């Protein structure tokens, strides 16, 4: 196409009207207009470039085409959901242990290993996967919404002229994605999951909730639809802060460690994605520990009797601090650090491969 454009440009510029004639020869006009129209149609409205600069501009466009490309939000959503399934299957026991430790007010569990061993001995090994169905569904939908909404928000925050995303734009995009997932997906699913996980016993007949669907129905019947959104305020704060830090850190580690930029066609190895994801997932649990403890306490309490111990997020923080001390606000931190960074490592290992496959098959082809 470049050669043809050069020919048309030369034809257009080399039409010389007869010297001294005010009126051009009809054939000159015909050739000039034809070349002019054809060139404009091929350039699709782009500005006419001189032959000397056209080749250079085409080369620059091919060189810079990858960074200007972006992954569509639906592809980000698919990659996140697949990563969520893998994460849930691998790390559910750690989440069960974390929940039991956060709900343990009498000190029955001496630590992570003791808690896991006690659950296995008294309730069976399968009890470590209690709540797996809602947890896996929750992670699948959560990551799809998180990755997709973050991609949409990042597009909105990009500079319209340069197409670049600033640091604060990336941070706000992550926070917005965390808020959306907390309200729409995380809160109702975690209420059901926590109610199922806090039940103790081997006999299903003695358990109040027989399964996730039955649990959701019982909560709605006894507490109304609002019962499924118990603890939404600390969940919003926790997830918003987590995702803003995670997306910012993941991009920074990809660039710093692997020189990877989105849309550049480079696909990270799974172990590279796991390192970036693991490191990006460490800061959030430390910063949001109190929000996670309060969220769990608010979700676990039932309104069946009408009176509840914790009236809200601030009241819960004050009550826990007064009754159990400051360290209680970070209960379950170690199992969170054992679950979230490895979970992010697993999720990103899958998601980056899916996104990388899309980049290689579609973005590079479209750039040729």
Output the pLDDT for position 81: 94
Q: Which residues contact 10 (CB under 8 A, 6 or more apart)?
A: 51
Which of 9-23, 80-94, 164-178, 278-292 is the least confident region? 9-23
Percent of the chain with pLDDT over 90: 46
Cα separation, 171 vs 348, whole angstroms:
18
Cα separation, 229 vs 291, whole angstroms:
15
Q: Which residues contact 72 (CB under 8 A, 6 or more apart)?
A: 151
In 10 A of CB 161, how many CB atoms?
A: 6
**pLDDT (average), residues 304-320:** 86
- The enclosing H or E element of 225 equals none
Chain mean position to CA 133 = 21
Write the secondary structure of 59-82 as one string of H (helix), E (strand) and C (coil): HHHHHCHHHHCCCCHHHHHHHHHH
Q: If you write DSSP's letter for every residue of 20-55 in order, what string do you get?
A: T-SS--HHHHHHHHHHHHHHHHHHTTPPP--HHHHH
pLDDT at 75 over 50: yes
Average pLDDT, the chain: 81
Q: Which residue in this structure is represented by tokens 């995670």?
A: 246
- The enclosing H or E element of 363 equals none
Domains of the chain in sequence order? 2-63 (no CATH), 73-367 (1.50.40.10)
Output the pLDDT for position 322: 94
**pLDDT (average), residues 357-363:** 82
Contact 338, 93 (CB under 8 A): no
pLDDT at 365 over 80: no
| pTM, rounded to two decimals | 0.70
Cα separation, 143 vs 145, whole angstroms:
5
Cα separation, 352 vs 332, whole angstroms:
29
- Which residue pairs, CB below 8 angstroms and at least 24 apart, start in 313-319? 313/231, 313/233, 313/234, 313/237, 316/234, 317/290
Of the candidates 230, 201, 199, 205, the one whose C-alpha atom is nearest the C-alpha of residue 302 is: 230
Q: Of 62 and 192, which is predicted with more confidence?
A: 192
pLDDT at 24 over 60: no
Q: Of 10 and 317, which is predicted with more confidence?
A: 317
pLDDT at 319 over 90: yes
pLDDT one-digit tens code per residue, 33-65: 444 544 444 444 444 444 444 444 444 444 444
pLDDT category, 308, cuts 50, 70, 90? confident
**pLDDT (average), residues 161-181:** 93
Output the pLDDT for position 34: 46
**pLDDT (average), residues 111-126:** 91
Contact 292, 187 (CB under 8 A): no
Cα separation, 190 vs 215, whole angstroms:
12
Q: Which residues contact 62 (CB under 8 A, 6 or more apart)?
A: 367, 368
């Amino acid at each position: 196409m470049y050669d043809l454009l050069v020919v048309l440009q030369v034809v257009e510029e080399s039409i010389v009207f007869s010297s001294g004639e005010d009126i051009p020869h009809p054939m000159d006009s015909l050739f000039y207009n034809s070349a002019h129209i054809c060139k404009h149609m091929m350039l699709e409205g782009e500005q006419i470039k001189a032959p000397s600069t056209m080749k250079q501009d085409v080369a620059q466009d091919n060189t810079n085409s990858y960074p200007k490309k972006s992954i569509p939000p639906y592809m980000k959503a698919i990659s996140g959901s697949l990563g969520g399934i893998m994460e849930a299957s691998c790390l559910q026991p750690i989440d069960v242990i974390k929940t039991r430790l956060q709900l343990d007010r009498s000190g029955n569990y001496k630590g992570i290993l003791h808690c896991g061993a006690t659950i296995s001995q008294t309730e069976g090994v399968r009890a470590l996967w209690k709540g797996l169905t809602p947890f896996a569904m929750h992670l699948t939908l959560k990551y799809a919404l998180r990755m997709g909404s973050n991609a949409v928000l990042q597009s909105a925050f990009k500079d319209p002229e340069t197409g670049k995303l600033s640091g604060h734009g990336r941070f706000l995009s992550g926070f917005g994605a965390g808020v959306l997932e907390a309200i729409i997906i995380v809160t109702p699913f975690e209420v059901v999951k926590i109610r199922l996980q806090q039940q103790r016993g081997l006999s299903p007949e003695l358990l109040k909730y027989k399964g996730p669907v039955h649990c959701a129905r019982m909560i709605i019947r006894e507490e109304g639809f609002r019962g499924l959104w118990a603890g939404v305020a600390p969940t919003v704060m926790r997830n918003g802060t987590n995702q803003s830090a995670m997306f910012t850190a993941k991009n920074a580690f990809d660039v710093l460690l692997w020189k990877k930029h989105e849309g550049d066609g480079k696909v990270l190895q799974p172990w590279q994605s796991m390192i970036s994801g693991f490191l990006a997932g460490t800061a959030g649990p430390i910063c949001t520990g109190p929000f996670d403890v309060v969220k769990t306490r608010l979700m676990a309490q039932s309104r069946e009797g009408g009176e509840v111990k914790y009236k809200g997020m601030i009241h819960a923080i004050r009550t826990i601090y007064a009754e159990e001390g400051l360290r209680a606000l970070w209960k379950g931190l170690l199992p969170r650090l054992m679950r979230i960074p490895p979970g992010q490592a697993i999720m990103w290992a899958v998601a980056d491969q899916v996104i990388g496959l899309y980049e290689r098959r579609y973005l590079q082809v479209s750039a040729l």
